[in-house]
Chain A
Amino acid sequence: MATKILTVDDSKTIRLIVIRAFKEFDCMIFEASNGVEGLAAASREKPDVIILDYTMPMMDGGEMLAKLKSNPDLKSIPVVMLTAEAGRETVFKLAKLGVRDYCVKPFREEVVVEKVSRIVNLRPKGETAAKQKRYDDPLSILVVDDKPAIPEQIRAGLADTKWVIEERGQTGQAVDSCTQKVPDVVLISLTLPEDSGYTLFQILRAGVKTKNVPVFALSVKTAVDEQARAQQLGFTGVITKPIDFADLKLRITRTLALDTSYKYFEQKDGVMVLRLPPTFSQSIANEINTYLRVKLAEAVDAGLDSLIIDFSEVKSADVTLIKLGLSVVQLCKELSMKHSTIGSEAVSQECKHYEETKDWRFFTSFKEAVDSLNSKALAA
């Protein structure tokens, strides 16, 4: 949900500057031109934060603040003063009334944003959409390492994705890069000179735009002290070198909650298809289970009444695969979906070992499976 900000200032100019300052964030800005309007807007909109001027006609900022803090419904709304009035007495008076922070005019927009971001969680616009990114989107991965071989290795290791690897050798360059374009993920080497990797992490965490970006530490497996320090500081995780790229992809996928359902589910020729990959594991079973109910329900909702479970590419099968198959069949029954299966030698052999699956019939092609579903429909 967008952060609600109420700007109360008799100057339209200042209200426009405040609107501009927050335009990159997921915010709704409400305006009022004096304390009376400000109180009414606060009651009506219940903003997350109020940015308040002091010298205004009708009712000044001090009086509005006092009335706000004496109203049980409004007193918890944090107030940041933005005013040319910076006399010590006024500041003390407002502090006593419970003002959370103070910006003096003239001011830098980023200072106001920073002060507000200490009070409420400002999310850059579009971040919500970013959470729904797909695994095959061109994610931007920033690698900060002074040894060019590491970004090269990462680029090669992630070559089967569409992810774009940006490399920076110095922390200053990395900060500039993040200011221009916020990356989806940052990987920072802990062996950068003078502990600058840790400093960079803290700068990114303090930045309004970058504070929610996942930051992984890159560390040699045996350097346990630096890994512990990174964990304590709050890095999203530690990637040890030599890098296990399957693990790196999985961790990025989980951290960004990337949508991977397209790898397994597809609507084709009027039926839903669940396609199992050649190499199957418990983590893949978990991933499929995450989407299974939603995807099948979506298919039913879209008017599809059949599912083809395609095992044809599976090279080795075990009990995990069998369990998944059984849960898919059970869900089809719950949703009144017809199903049929395309097999592989490994899967059909494994199925014979279990009472529940020994009679499963496998087709050898998509067409055969579809024909089977159609004949079931005719028989019904």
Chain B
Amino acid sequence: MMKDLEALFTPAVTEVFTMMLNYPVVEVKMGANDAIPKNGELQLASAVGFVGEFTGVVYLHVGVGLARKFTCRLLHMTEQEAESDEIVNDAMGEIANMVIGYIKSRLCESGITCAITIPSIVRGSHFTIEPVGIDARRVFLLQCDDGQFWAEALAKEDKSK
């Protein structure tokens, strides 16, 4: 099922960024076990989980500066207007929600039933996500005009299937 997610992830990001932000994003190929680079910049990780036949979580890791740019594009705001952390958190949570919602809909269409969770946000400069009981992990590097950001998909497959 991780393969399904892998196939759906980039189209999902492209769709959301094109439709909602009018901002082209492309995937940059990288190794399966590459780590997310830490450059010390304050990071924002927005997470939405899957629960059901496919259980897992997807994190979007974006530098705070780039997250603010995404927020401005999404809400047609200036950087001054999007100054509050709250609004940036909310916008990034909603972007993650739409990306995962897109994937979830396609999974459901192919018979994999699952629900998605409410988005959650983590902010920090030096944090690592160390999941427990995860069967598969995949990292996606994404490139847009204003910089790069990362997505990390963690999945636990339903062994009863």
Contacts and interface: CB of A to CB of B under 8 A. Distances in A.
Interface of A: 10-14, 16-17, 20, 55-57, 83-89, 104-108
B74 A83 contact: no
Given A11-B90, A55-B118, A84 B104 contact: yes
A84 B76 contact: no
Judged by DSSP, the binding face of B is helix
A106 B15 contact: yes
Contacts of B75: 13, 16-17, 20
A10 B97 CA distance: 11
B113 A87 contact: yes
Nearest to A87: B108
Given A11-B94, A14-B94, A87-B113, 12 more contacts: A11-B93, A13-B74, A13-B87, A13-B93, A13-B94, A20-B75, A55-B115, A55-B117, A85-B105, A85-B115, A85-B116, A104-B101
A129 B123 CA distance: 49
B105 A55 contact: no
Nearest to A57: B118
B6 to A, nearest CB: 20
B20 A106 contact: yes
B72 to A, nearest CB: 12
A66 to B, nearest CB: 17
Interface residues of B, number: 29
B101 A85 contact: yes
Nearest to B119: A11
- By secondary structure, the A interface counts as loop
Given A10-B118, A55-B116, A84-B116, A106 B19 contact: yes
Interface of B: 15-16, 19-20, 71, 74-76, 86-87, 90-91, 93-94, 97-98, 100-102, 104-105, 108-109, 113, 115-119
A11 B119 CA distance: 9
A86 B108 contact: yes
7 contacts: A11-B119, A14-B94, A55-B115, A85-B104, A87-B105, A87-B115, A106-B16
Given A20-B76, A87-B108, A105 B98 contact: yes
Contact of A105 (B101, B108, B117): B101
Contacts of A17: 74-75
B71 to A, nearest CB: 8
Contacts of B91: 13
Nearest to A108: B19
Contacts of B20: 106-107
Contacts of A86: 101, 104-105, 108
